[in-house]
Amino acid sequence: MNVLLILFSLFFTPPKSVYDFKIKTIDGKEVSLARFKGKKLLIVNTASKCGYTPQYEALEKLHKQYGKNVVLIGFPAGNFGDQELATNTEIQDFCKKNFGVTFLLSEKVSVKGADIDPLFAYLTSQENPDFKGDISWNFEKFLINEKGKLVHRFRSKVAPLDPAITSNF
């Protein structure tokens, strides 16, 4: 049994930070989050047909105002009431046309359940001063510090430009 544990640890190292993850952008490019070392990250699970969808406008303002110090990444997901469009192309077109989104978007992912994206499995299990556990709805926000550690988590109702978020920039 110990031999199996040793072999497992040789081939699988648990992530130490978000910098151990790679994402695929909405246009199909692979991006290592390690590229953003030294900057804060704001990670948001998004949806195009949700009551919180107008937060895209504030997210874009946040990106323009704080983009030199904070990397904003939206992760479209259809986990809650199937409120996300079907394809990455549809999502990208919707975000640009309706909200002028220029911040980084990932491909459509799952943020909850058996098919949860590994990054969100990691984020929802990390200790932080706010709360941990499953995402409960669209537009939850995860604030990562310059060292790749989750430092705050915000529920959907917290607006992107709320001082609870922006005071950390």
Instruction: Determine the Cα–Cα distance for residues 36 and 69; give it in Å rounded to an integer.
Output: 10
Query: How do the pLDDT tens digits run along the chain, 169 residues long?
Result: 455 445 555 566 788 899 999 999 999 999 999 999 999 999 999 999 999 999 999 999 999 999 999 999 999 999 999 999 999 999 999 999 999 999 999 999 999 999 999 999 999 999 999 999 999 999 999 999 999 999 999 999 999 999 999 999 9
Residue 49 sits in which domain range? 17-166
Residue 121: inside a domain: yes
Task: Tell me which long-range contacts 156-160 makes (C-beta under 8 A, separation of at least 24).
Answer: 156/52, 157/52, 159/55, 159/58, 160/42, 160/44, 160/55, 160/58, 160/59, 160/61, 160/62
Residue 2: inside a domain: no
Residue 53: inside a domain: yes
| Cα distance between the two ends of the chain | 47
Respond yes or no: is residue 95 known to be catalytic. no
What is the structure's pLDDT at 10? 59
The count of structural domains within the chain is: 1
Which residues are within 8 A (CB) of 36 and not within 5 positions of it... i.e. 6 or more apart? 19, 71
pTM: 0.92
- E strand residue ranges, 47-165: 70-76, 104-105, 141-144, 150-154
C-alpha 92 chain-centroid distance:
16
Residue 7: inside a domain: no
CATH number for the domain including 136?
A: 3.40.30.10
Q: Which of 22, 65, 18 is nearest to 37 (CA)?
A: 18
Residue 83: inside a domain: yes
Q: Which of 18, 33, 43, 50 is flagged as catalytic?
A: 50
Residue 66: inside a domain: yes
CB atoms within 10 A of CB 72: 23
Residue 118: inside a domain: yes
Task: Look at the block and give the residue holding tokens 């640890």.
Answer: 9
Residue 23: inside a domain: yes
